[in-house]
Amino acid sequence: MQVGSLGEFLTAVEDRRGLQRVRAEVHPQFELSEIARRVDALHSPTQPAPVLCFDHVTASRVPVVTNLLGSTNRIAMAFGCQTIEEVSTRFADFLSRDLPAGWRARFDDLKRHALYQQLQPTVAKEGDCQYVVRMGRDVVLTNIPWIQNDLGESGPSFSTANFLCYDSQTGEQIIERVPVFPLDQQHLAVRWSPSSRLGMIWERARSEDRPLACAVTFGGPMSLEVILRWTPFRSHSPYLLASILGQSRIELVKCRTSDLLVPSTSEIVLEGTLDPKIATFRTGVMTNAAGFLSGERDCPIMKVACLTQRSNPVFPAIIPHHGFTEYQVVNQLWEQIIAAALKLDHSQVIDVHLPQRAISGDQLLVAIDKSSPFEMHKLLHAIWGSSLLQSPRLVIGVDADVPLRDYATVMKAVSQHASPSRDYITATSTSQELDIEYASGRPAGLMGIDATRKWASELPPDCKPAVWSGRIPHEIHQALDIKWQSLFEM
């Protein structure tokens, strides 16, 4: 069974000697993140860095933990599994049920099945996250260990808070990851992409001159923490997906000042409102999840009316940087999830891979069993149109026999089989926050490369596919394998 809270997860990790405590006092401005980066740099995917627990953070009584999901074993633990393959198998089993075609339609149709009743979250009268309650002037946000990662940032922030509110149009409660900035003891600046669903909900509230009840949570069920690392599931059934993959329902509890429901095992919950009458605040430069600096932005201000927390909360932080990060490890699970979902509608898909450099999911490699001309061209547009993916800026398609995790071999297939004039396909999409060339409201370019071997019907008239030299009879291969060693003996 999946672990129910961050505290239980840390206990399980420590029992397996996967947690290292930093007992000396550490300052949250630059020092904490630099220690985490240096420890991370000493490790690799085969020898992952431990979870770091900073027990004494300057000007805060709340310990900070980093690198929670820095190994595939810890990701599997979050769902009560032994391996991430077991997690993805649960998702594939769910997709194979007698439900409508398409992964998203399956989620929507669950509401009309008895299975949904077994998976939907339960609502408790009270939760561990409300052990301590502070209201009004008793709220002190500066006690939270806000972290500054980079000299270029304008100040401390938290890049991955869980923001909750209701969509007045659909009545659905949504949850998304957003950066938040402390302004004073009772106010936060909340930063999101104007093109996101939260941006549209906020613009609707502003046009109606209506305050928006909201909540910000830190920590909670680790299965949900993994789900929220992947963009599409942040606002569409994240609790349900966490229940499916963890085979255990998420427990929620009602906020003290609104009807919003938050995970009962959250470490800290901030409740409040976004008021259109309050002027926006222009947040400065910050480090985003991909590890590069993101520019200034006019952001709404959240007035925090209530702070609740566990008796001894722990603050989970993600330290973004360009090395081996948690996002690259989590990608190993998500590429299996993506493959299972794509295969549902596109049987020719054999495998997918998110390269290490694709921290923000902006690159995707796809291997297909090609059975018709221009099949990869069609699949590229299907991928960009899928709600499961955040329009990866670069998609490279190759044949099934090309090893996707050998990037050099993939590039070799590109050079051998992709013509820039014919097999480089472009499209446009909405610019995303993690795009290097992000600009609010402006389109972003997408590119797909069909690096599969070309059929004759895919080539211009009088053009023949290139045939590489070096082929010899199969029996010669076998004979050389047998006597290879003796060829070099003196």
What pLDDT does 41 receive? 86
Percent residues over pLDDT 70 in the chain: 86
Residues 238 and 383 occupy one common structural domain: no
User: Which is nearest to 263 in space by CA: 250, 280, 275?
Assistant: 250
Mean pLDDT, residues 241-260 taken together: 91
State yes or no: pLDDT of 234 exceeds 60: no
Residue 31's pLDDT band (cuts 50, 70, 90): very high
- Distance (Å) of CA 436 to CA 270, 407, 431: 31, 22, 10
Residues 108 and 147 occupy one common structural domain: yes
State yes or no: pLDDT of 374 exceeds 60: yes
Q: Are 318 and 67 in contact (CB under 8 A)?
A: no
Q: Which of 288-297, 402-411, 430-439, 443-452 tops mean pLDDT?
A: 402-411
Residues 262 and 406 occupy one common structural domain: no
Number of structural domains (the chain) is 2
Q: Are 74 and 51 in contact (CB under 8 A)?
A: yes
| CA atoms of 301 and 288, how far apart (whole Å) | 20
What pLDDT does 17 receive? 93
Mean pLDDT, residues 285-292 taken together: 71
In a domain, 479, yes or no: no
CATH of the domain at 137: 2.30.110.10
CATH of the domain at 369: 3.40.1670.10
Residues 381 and 310 occupy one common structural domain: no
In a domain, 332, yes or no: no
What pLDDT does 10 receive? 95
Q: Are 37 and 323 in contact (CB under 8 A)?
A: yes
What pLDDT does 433 receive? 60
Phi, psi values for residue 159, rounded to 5°: -80, -15
Residues 228 and 376 occupy one common structural domain: no
| CA atoms of 208 and 386, how far apart (whole Å) | 32
Mean of the per-residue pLDDT values for the chain? 85
Residues 193 and 273 occupy one common structural domain: yes
State yes or no: pLDDT of 204 exceeds 90: yes
What pLDDT does 254 receive? 96
Mean pLDDT, residues 312-332 taken together: 81
In a domain, 47, yes or no: yes
Phi, psi values for residue 410, rounded to 5°: -60, -45
User: Please, what is the Cα angle at 456 between 452 and 460, to 5 degrees?
Assistant: 100
Domain boundary among the residues 317, 338, 357 is at: 317
Mean pLDDT, residues 199-210 taken together: 92
Report how far Cα 445 is from the mean position of its chain's Cα atoms.
21
What pLDDT does 107 receive? 62
Residue-wise pLDDT tens digits, 36-87: 999 988 888 788 999 999 999 999 989 999 999 999 999 999 999 999 999 9
State yes or no: pLDDT of 441 exceeds 80: no
**Predicted TM-score of the model (pTM):** 0.86
In a domain, 290, yes or no: yes
User: Which structural domain, as residue segments, surrounds residue 358?
Assistant: 346-458
- Residue with tokens 């001159």, as numbered in its chain: 209
| Span of 72-76, 196-200, 248-252 with lowest mean pLDDT | 196-200
In a domain, 432, yes or no: yes
| CA atoms of 121 and 263, how far apart (whole Å) | 9
In a domain, 184, yes or no: yes
State yes or no: pLDDT of 210 exceeds 80: yes
The one-letter amino acid code at 70 reads G
Phi, psi values for residue 295, rounded to 5°: -75, -175
State yes or no: pLDDT of 367 exceeds 60: yes
Residue 205's pLDDT band (cuts 50, 70, 90): very high
Residues 171 and 49 occupy one common structural domain: yes
Helix, strand or coil for residue 302?
strand
**What per-residue string of b and e applies to 166-184 under the rule 16 or more CB within 10 Å gives b?**
beeeeeebbbbbbbbbbbe
In a domain, 467, yes or no: no
State yes or no: pLDDT of 327 exceeds 90: no
In a domain, 115, yes or no: yes
Residues 65 and 199 occupy one common structural domain: yes
Helix, strand or coil for residue 481?
helix
More confident: 118 or 283: 283
More confident: 328 or 166: 166
Residue 160's pLDDT band (cuts 50, 70, 90): confident
Residues 281 and 389 occupy one common structural domain: no
Residues 61 and 201 occupy one common structural domain: yes
Residues 254 and 352 occupy one common structural domain: no
What pLDDT does 206 receive? 93
Residues 297 and 353 occupy one common structural domain: no
State yes or no: pLDDT of 115 exceeds 70: no
